[in-house]
Amino acid sequence: MSFIPTTPNRGLKLRPQGQRYYFSTTRHFFREEDIPRLRALVPELMDATVASADDSGTSSQQIANTDIRSSKVGFIEPTDSSAWLYKLIGAGIAHHNQTYYDYAIEGIETLQFSEYPANTGYYKPHLDWGAGTIFGRNDICRKLSFTIQLSKPDSYAGGDLKLHSGRELDAATRETIREFGCLTVFPSWLLHEVTPVTHGTRRSLVGWVVGPDFL
> Among residues 205, 215, 189, which one has the least CA distance to residue 92?
205
DSSP annotation of 15: S
Site for other proteins in 90-109 (CB under 8 A): 102-104
Q: Is 162 in the site for other proteins (CB under 8 A)?
A: no
Spatial contact of 207 and 135, defined as CB atoms under 8 Å apart: no
Spatial contact of 112 and 205, defined as CB atoms under 8 Å apart: yes
Angle at 69 between CA 68 and CA 72, to 5 degrees: 170
Nearer to other proteins, 40 or 215 (CB): 215
Q: Which of 5, 8, 43, 130 binds other proteins (CB under 8 A)?
A: 130
Nearer to other proteins, 29 or 101 (CB): 101
Query: What whole-number distance in Å separates Cα of residue 60 and Cα of residue 3?
Result: 20
Q: Is 136 in the site for other proteins (CB under 8 A)?
A: no
DSSP annotation of 42: -
Nearer to other proteins, 86 or 103 (CB): 103
Q: Is 56 in the site for other proteins (CB under 8 A)?
A: no
- Backbone dihedral angles phi then psi of residue 172, each to the nearest 5 degrees: -65, -40
User: In angstroms, what is the minimal distance from the CB of 190 to other proteins?
Assistant: 8
Binding site for other proteins (CB under 8 A): 10, 17-20, 67-68, 102-104, 124-127, 129-131, 133, 138-139, 141, 164-166, 187, 189-191, 213-215
